């Protein structure tokens, strides 16, 4: 079900983004007087076709949801009647052609702004950036960071959540190499300033979690071995365990946290266990026989019990960031710019070899990200769509033949030399662009495959 949900979320996300991108080309082409023959979301065999308008434009949803295209009247792709020559794309002034081609990526950035706008108005849930653990001899440890530190700002930029903190750390690392943190330490009224050395960008931009490389673990609630809920008719209920019972030990092995208890039970399917527990201050010993279940080809123990969660403690760590319509619009533009600049910086580091190529993700990873964000809620899904849209916009603007950026490069050359590039140059460029795109997709799929088997 998870795979199907991720796939559905991926198809919805790609469908929305492709439609918006291609609508940019379509809308500007129509405004420029160019005849549009087909507007297709997806490639391959048409699943649905609708013909409308005086130009009898075909609106198509195709079988392969990995892109789309707008087909315009063009003498290079077929014979054009004399009465429609002025509406052919290739007959337009170079400025109009630039506007039509650039419209797709521009609409991607517009979509990101709109998505962030709605996201900020709905409200963004996050967790306060409070440190849980610091790895010894790590970058964070050398900066004298400590468990319980609440990160308030990075180089003066407020960081209300872990997401904003991570983005700020990465942005500042790529720009300055060293960042100044303002932290609130536990049981201290005075704020502290700490200096974090992020100059080793090659290490920080390698595959994996940035915070982990810094030696930081975000705060997580300590879940004690206390029964919070029982499954009706489960092994725990049959053994007379009750809500509120604290597990002291099992077969003489001490239980300090809930994960100790879970790991102990999972390792003992269909076994009898002697449990010592504390019930309202009284020690009680019970005999418990575990059940068994199959999971990923393994037989694991279970008893049908869930831990007690301190909801108030978790609620105190949550942050909801929301703004009014006007402020949300300014924040959305600012966020789009921030993510766009960060994406370009990371891409440059990929080109120069300072960032790992393992960071390049393919459809499988994107589908998983889309599915997780959709599960969290509308606000998270909008944020994911905005990031995807910015990435697509930037990717399309790269000066690679076959992409929008490659066509724009040809048109800039045409402006400079006063005539279009030759058909031979375009043909060679197309082959080169296809090879580069195929190589990039192969790398992305390879990275996805490695993540799946890891």
Helices and strands, number each (H, E), in the chain: 14, 18
Q: Which residue has the tokens 């966020």?
A: 335
d(CA 381, CA 116): 10
SS3 assignment for 305-358: EEECCCHHHHHHHEEEECCCHHHHHHHHHHHHHHHHHHHHHHHHHHHHCCCCHH
The values of phi and psi at residue 362, to 5°, are -110, -170
Burial, 365: exposed, middle or buried (Cβ in 10 Å; 0-12, 13-18, 19+)?
Answer: middle
List the catalytic residue out of 22, 58, 75, 295: 22
Is residue 135 within 8 A of residue 215, CB to CB? The reply is yes
The packing angle between helices 404-417 and 423-453, to 10°, is 150
- Rg (the chain; Cα; Å): 28
Q: Return the bridge partners of 158, or none.
A: 153
Other residues' Cβ atoms within 10 Å of the Cβ of residue 219? 18
Asked about 22 being catalytic, the answer comes back as yes
Query: What gap in Å lies between CA 336 and CA 331, rounded to an integer?
Result: 9
Dist CA 449 CA 441 (whole Å): 12
**What are the residue numbers of the active site?**
22
């Amino acid at each position: 079900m998870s795979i199907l949900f991720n796939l559905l979320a991926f198809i919805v996300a790609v469908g929305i983004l492709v439609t918006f991108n291609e609508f940019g080309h379509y809308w500007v082409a129509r405004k420029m007087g160019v005849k549009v023959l087909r507007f297709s979301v997806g490639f391959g065999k048409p699943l649905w076709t609708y013909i409308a308008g005086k130009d009898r434009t075909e609106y198509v949803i195709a079988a392969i949801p990995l892109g789309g295209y707008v087909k315009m009247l063009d003498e290079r792709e077929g014979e054009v009647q004399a009465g429609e020559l002025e509406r052919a794309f290739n007959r337009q002034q170079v400025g109009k052609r630039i506007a039509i081609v650039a419209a797709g990526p521009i609409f991607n950035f517009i979509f990101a702004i709109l998505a962030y706008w709605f996201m900020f108005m709905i409200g963004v849930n996050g967790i306060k950036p409070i440190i849980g653990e610091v790895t010894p001899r790590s970058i964070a440890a050398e900066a004298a960071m400590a468990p319980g530190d609440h990160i308030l700002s990075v180089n003066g930029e407020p960081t209300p959540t872990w997401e904003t903190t991570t983005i700020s750390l990465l942005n500042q690392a790529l720009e300055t190499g060293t960042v100044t943190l303002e932290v609130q330490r536990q049981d201290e009224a005075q704020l502290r300033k700490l200096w974090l050395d992020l100059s080793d960008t090659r290490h920080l931009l390698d595959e994996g979690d940035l915070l982990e490389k810094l030696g930081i673990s975000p705060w997580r609630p300590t879940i004690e071995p206390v029964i919070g809920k029982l499954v009706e008719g489960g092994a725990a209920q049959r053994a007379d365990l009750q809500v509120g019972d604290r597990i002291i030990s099992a077969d003489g092995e001490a239980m300090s946290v809930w994960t100790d208890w879970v790991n102990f039970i999972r390792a003992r399917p269909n076994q009898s266990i002697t449990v010592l527990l504390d019930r309202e201050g009284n020690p009680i010993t019970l005999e418990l026989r575990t059940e068994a279940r199959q999971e990923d080809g393994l037989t694991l123990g279970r008893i049908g019990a869930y831990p007690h969660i301190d909801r108030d403690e978790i609620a105190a760590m949550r942050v909801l960031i929301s703004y009014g319509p006007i402020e949300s619009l300014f924040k959305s533009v600012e966020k789009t710019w921030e993510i766009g600049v960060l994406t370009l910086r990371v891409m440059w580091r990929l080109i120069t070899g300072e960032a790992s190529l393992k960071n390049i993700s393919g459809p499988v990873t994107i589908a998983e990200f889309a599915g997780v964000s959709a599960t969290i809620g509308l606000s998270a899904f909008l944020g994911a769509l905005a990031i995807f849209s910015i990435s697509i916009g930037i990717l399309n603007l790269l000066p690679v033949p076959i992409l929008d950026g490659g066509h724009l490069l040809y048109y800039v050359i045409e402006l400079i030399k006063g005539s279009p590039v030759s058909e031979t140059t375009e043909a060679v460029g197309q082959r080169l662009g296809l090879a580069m795109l195929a190589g990039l997709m192969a790398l992305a799929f390879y990275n996805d495959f490695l993540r799946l088997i890891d």
